[in-house]
Structure 1
């Protein structure tokens, strides 16, 4: 669903960020969307995520469009010094990985704050919060608190919830810089 929302927004040649590489599905989408002149910068703290994404991109012939960084998304400002067209965040843990290694409220909010400052006009941030695990609710609440305080003259924010899923379905947040 998020890919369909972003498809008309991402432009060939854009610089975009995958803030949480995971298994690389968003990274691959972004690499295709930015085209040969674009660039994706991807972050993950786990070496296995970096290697999984590297293999996925190599198999698709798209590795040259992506820089993979093994570091926290909260350190985005140490790697990116120019405006970005957008960023994608998937919060929680690496599917198929160690469920004890999760994104945390403090580093996620710090990353969102820095990312929102890097956004170019019309740029986007998508956040998919998988919050049905220990610590997930706290992170979801911290994200909502941060997004609620963004200046509405500069940012448009939205929250989407699944209504026909049981348990703790993921929540989608969208941010666009006006």
Structure 2
């Protein structure tokens, strides 16, 4: 049977193939909680998950999902901007950090990520990421979210030192309507 290769499932497959289990993970854009739950499964009993969002609705939805799946104890849900993630890490380094840029599915489209805080969060995440760690970015553009954030993120990533980071930008090449862009950054 063919696997689903929607952007989040694709990113999960890559993460599972590259990241150690029972580590420290950050869901920088909690949304509806599916990445947080995925990280909780990877964390097991010994790992930790930090999940961020600025919307109370995202924290509520994620909390309910984790409760349904018996994963509540594995995650710290934080109502704050991903730009502030470093303040919550206590000096710990992350094995993997994931971002979904855009707006909360089923939420207020006027509340979307923006280039200014997103770039700050990516830079903070790269500092927090362990050597050998992976950052996953799902970049949504077009429609409500526009292209400014996409272009700013891609330009920032192009500037990363190739001796310290491997940046892989994927594309859904034969899909129209500005498909999402999955990006992976490996810290060397």
TM-score by length of 1: 0.97
User: What is the RMSD computed on CA atoms of the aligned residues?
Assistant: 1.0
**Worse-matched range after superposition: 16-25 or 6-15:** 6-15
Counterpart selection for 1:22 from 24, 31, 51 = 31
Residue 105 (structure 2) aligns with: 95
Q: Does the residue aligned with 2:30 lie in a helix, a strand or coil?
A: coil
Structure 1 residue 173 corresponds to structure 2 residue 183: yes
Q: Does 1:50 align with 2:59?
A: yes
The answer (yes or no) to whether the contact 2:97–2:125 under 8 Å persists in 1 is yes
Task: Pick which of 128-137 and 66-75 moved more.
Answer: 128-137
The secondary structure found in structure 2 opposite 1:172 is strand
Higher mean C-alpha deviation, range 3-12 or range 136-145: 3-12
- Name the stretch that deviates more: 146-155 or 9-18: 9-18
Residues in 1 aligned to 2:27 and 2:52: alpha-carbon distance in whole angstroms:
6
Contact 2:23 2:43 in 1 (8 A): yes
Q: Return 5+ residue gaps in structure 1 as ranges.
A: none
Q: Is the 8 A contact 2:103 2:145 kept in 1?
A: no
Question: 1:33 — aligned with what?
Answer: 42
Of 7-16 and 144-153, more deviation after overlay is shown by 7-16
Aligned to 1:11: 20
Superposed CA offset, 1:8-59 (max 9, x none): 3232221110000011111111110121100110000000100000000011
CA positional deviation for 1:131: 0.6
TM-score normalised over the length of structure 2: 0.92
Distance in 2 separating the partners of 1:162 and 1:130 = 12
**Partners of 1:135 and 1:169 in 2: how far apart?**
12
Deviation at 1:135, TM superposition (A): 4.2
Where has structure 1 moved over 4 Å in runs of 4 or more? none
Residues 92 and 136, structure 1, Cα contact 8 Å, conserved in 2: no
| 2:157 alignment partner in structure 1 | 147
1:100 deviates by 0.3
